A = this chain, B = another copy of it.
Amino acid sequence: MPGRYQWQNRFRENVCRWTVPREVILALLSRTTEHLTAKDIYGSLYSMYPGIGLTTIYRTLELLHRLGLVHKVAAGDGQSRYALKREDKGDHHHHLICTKCGKIVDYRDFVQEELELVKKTEEALAKKHNFAITDHNIEFLGLCEKCR
């Protein structure tokens, strides 16, 4: 399981315990590139881990987000979706979001150009609006292959 010891270390550094539900959720997220909702995760884990509660999923995702281990994306349909951050490979990407089914497709084309513009924009905006910028989103909305 990739990243296991890094994850454990990150937990310890933040006075968080390394528990079975947390390990299992991280493992699931590491096995997919999909952006998953809390319920997706709950459903996927149910057969192997029926005792893991939906509340635990929500709390764990919020913790992982706070620790900077996952991306949290609000696709506009009232639910949040999560994906493991994979910046170990300098992996930065942006999103295509389907407005019908909520599916999120990653893309990396043009990301370099986008990041260049983002960097320039960020500095100027931070100064002009007195805004402490911590992150950015670039996303395209529309209908995915299945929904069009």
Q: Which residues of A contact B (CB under 8 A)?
A: 72, 74, 76, 78, 96, 98-99, 105, 107, 109-110, 113-114, 117, 120-122, 124-126, 128-145, 148
Contacts and interface: CB of A to CB of B under 8 A. Distances in A.
A107 B132 contact: no
Contacts of A145: 129-131
A72 B148 CA distance: 22
Copies of the protein in its oligomer: 2
B138 A137 contact: yes
B129 A133 contact: no
A35 to B, nearest CB: 14
Contacts of A133: 96, 140-142
A129 B110 contact: no
A133 B95 CA distance: 12
A107 B122 CA distance: 11
A131 B76 contact: no
Contact of A121 (B78, B99, B109): B109
Ordered nearest first, which 4 A-B pairs have the shortest CB separation?
A133-B142, A135-B141, A130-B145, A132-B143
A20 to B, nearest CB: 29
Nearest to A141: B135
Contacts of A124: 109-110
Nearest to A114: B117
Given A134-B99, A135-B141, A129 B107 contact: yes
Contacts of A121: 109-110, 114, 140
